Every structure is written in structure tokens, then in C-alpha cells.
């Protein structure tokens, strides 16, 4: 007797953002790697990502985000897959995880569908593409000419959600002490993300790695985190540190501030 299976659409990971596309198992809180390739000739270096139809998932009070697609940074545990930190040696040494990270478990309980694990810099450290990347190639930033840096360690998270309209959210982490790996990555890819408090995980703190989400929509980020951040009311800039070698440079900055004030509601304040 035949058996019906849910249908998935296969997409090429042309941005090189994924390390392991996934599909769900019979356990709703576990996944398995997708061992398939569909774009060998047209995109020979691309992984294949399987994306489920939203028709299978109806949002409910218990699962308000049913069917929402999300990618997970490869320093977070996803049950059924290895956590490699973008290190081939570490990935080979440790077997598949048997439990989800707290934040992953929370989003699965809300109905999110994990479609894969995403690249990070090695162990979420500081790496600059492409010279510092050894085990895996850096993801491609879709902005501008397609060869700009994705900056921070959440490079795969930023590149994926910026590149693919079929992906709703990605999870990344932020290291505030070194400038913000998630914030840097999403700013280079021109994305919106929620700030601190996206996930109240006790393993993370404001002075170390902090969880955050990336999305193409600021509204979606606010819905997910139940937080609406108040806009700044004052714009501070130190006039004495502006370059004095070019009047054109000064004109550009003045023009930017003039255009920014009526749209943002800032009160200008010069620091002499």
C-alpha cells in the first residue's frame, strides 16, 4: 500500500548560507539532515533546501507561528543534527545532539519550521571573508555587487534571510563586547532585527553572546519578541571630530542630518 508524504519545494542555496538543510522527523521537536541535491548542474556548489508548504500549517492560539520558516545558526543545538560551529573537525568529533537549545525548543513549540542550520564564523569568532575562512566558504551578501562582506559571526543568518524570500526568520547571536556579530551582519545585509531580549536564555548575557532574530520585516520581529522599542529622541554628533579636509564631505553630512530630522523626529544636538 502506498503512503502519502508532505510536499516540499526544493531551492538552491546559491548564497552559500547553509551548512545543513533539514527536514522534520516524526518527532515534532527533532530534525534530520536533507541528504539530497537537485541543482548539481545549474549550481554545482549549492546545497538544496527543502521548504514545506504553508498549507499544511494553520496558526492556532497554541502555535501562532505554525508554518513560519526559520534557519538556525550552527552554534545552537538542534535535536538530530550535529552542532559544528563551522568547524569540520569539531563536527566530526561530536555526534548529533539529542536535545534542542532552549531557544530552539521555544520556537518549535510556537510552530516554527526549521529548514536548516546556517553558517557561522568558526566558533562565532572574528573572521573576515574570504581570507579568514578555512573550513567553509563565507556566505555571499546579496547586496550591491554580491561580493560585499557579511561581517559578523551570524553571517549565514543574515545572508540567508536577505537572499531568500521563502525564509521568514533566522536565529543568530550577538557578542556585544566586540561590536555585535549579529548586528554587524544584518546591518551589512540591510535587514531588520530585534535587539536584546529576543530570547531570554540564561546561558547568554548582554556582555557576551546574546540571542537575536533576523528578518526582512521589523513588524515581524516585534510580533515575535512582543517588544516595540522606543525610538531615540536625540541625535548627537561630535562636530570637532568631523574631517576638515573636504568641504564636500561636510556638505554630505549636513544634508543627511537635514533629511533625517523630519522623518525620525530627532532633536539635533551638536557636541563641540
Beta strand extents in 134-208 (DSSP E only)? 169-175, 192-193
What is the structure's pLDDT at 90?
96
What is the structure's pLDDT at 244?
65
Q: Where are the domains of the chain?
A: 8-225, 234-271
What single DSSP character describes residue 251?
Answer: H
Domain 8-225 architecture: Alpha-Beta Complex (3.90)
> What are the Cα distances from residue 194, in Å, to 15, 35, 160?
23, 33, 17
What is the structure's pLDDT at 181?
42
How large is the average pLDDT for residues 244-263? 77
CA nearest neighbour of 52 among 29, 38, 39, 70: 70
Q: Is the pLDDT of residue 101 over 70?
A: yes
Are 182 and 208 in contact by the 8 Å Cβ rule? The answer is: no
pLDDT tens-place string over residues 177-231: 333 444 444 454 445 444 445 555 544 444 444 455 555 555 555 555 555 556 6
CA nearest neighbour of 115 among 77, 67, 149: 67
223 φ, ψ (degrees, to nearest 5): -65, -45
Max CA distance (Å), the chain: 80
What is the structure's pLDDT at 129?
83
Residue whose C-alpha cell is 520581529 = 221
Are 202 and 242 in contact by the 8 Å Cβ rule? The answer is: no
What is the structure's pLDDT at 194?
43
- Whole-angstrom distance, CA of residue 106 vs CA of residue 242: 46
- Strand 209-215 vs strand 192-193: parallel, antiparallel, or unpaired? antiparallel
What is the structure's pLDDT at 231?
67
Q: Is 12 helix (H, G, I), strand (E, B) or coil?
A: strand
pLDDT tens-place string over residues 125-148: 888 888 888 899 999 998 888 888
Write out the H or E segment, with its range, that includes residue 188.
Answer: helix 181-188
Question: Environment class of residue 81 by beta-carbon count within 10 Å: exposed (0-12), middle (13-18) or buried (19+)?
Answer: buried
Amino acid at each position: 500500500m502506498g503512503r502519502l508524504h508532505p510536499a516540499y519545494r526544493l531551492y538552491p542555496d546559491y548564497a552559500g548560507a547553509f551548512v545543513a538543510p533539514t527536514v522534520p522527523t516524526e518527532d515534532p521537536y527533532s530534525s534530520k539532515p536533507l541528504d539530497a541535491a537537485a541543482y548539481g548542474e545549474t549550481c554545482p556548489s549549492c546545497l538544496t533546501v527543502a521548504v514545506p508548504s504553508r498549507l499544511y500549517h494553520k496558526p492556532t492560539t497554541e502555535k501562532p507561528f505554525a508554518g513560519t520558516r526559520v534557519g538556525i545558526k550552527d552554534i545552537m543545538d538542534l535535536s538530530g543534527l550535529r552542532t559544528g560551529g563551522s568547524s569540520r573537525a569539531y563536527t566530526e568529533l561530536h555526534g548529533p545532539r539529542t536535545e534542542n537549545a532552549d531557544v530552539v525548543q521555544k520556537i518549535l513549540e510556537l510552530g516554527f519550521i526549521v529548514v536548516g542550520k546556517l553558517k557561522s564564523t568558526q566558533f562565532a569568532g572574528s573572521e573576515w571573508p574570504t581570507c579568514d575562512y578555512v573550513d567553509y566558504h563565507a556566505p555571499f551578501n546579496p547586496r550591491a555587487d554580491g561580493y560585499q562582506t557579511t561581517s559578523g559571526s551570524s553571517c549565514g543568518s543574515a545572508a540567508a534571510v536577505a537572499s531568500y524570500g521563502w525564509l521568514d526568520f533566522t536565529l543568530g547571536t550577538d557578542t556585544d563586547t566586540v561590536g555585535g556579530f549579529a548586528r554587524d551582519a544584518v546591518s551589512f545585509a540591510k535587514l531588520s532585527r530585534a535587539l536584546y531580549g529576543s530570547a531570554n536564555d540564561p546561558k547568554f548575557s548582554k556582555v557576551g553572546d546574546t540571542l537575536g532574530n533576523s528578518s526582512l520585516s521589523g513588524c515581524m520581529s516585534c510580533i515575535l519578541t512582543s517588544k516595540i522599542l522606543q525610538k531615540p529622541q536625540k541625535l548627537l554628533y561630535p562636530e570637532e571630530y568631523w574631517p576638515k579636509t573636504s568641504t564636500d564631505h561636510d556638505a554630505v553630512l549636513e544634508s543627511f542630518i537635514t533629511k533625517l530630522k523630519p522623518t525620525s523626529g530627532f532633536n539635533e544636538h551638536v557636541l563641540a
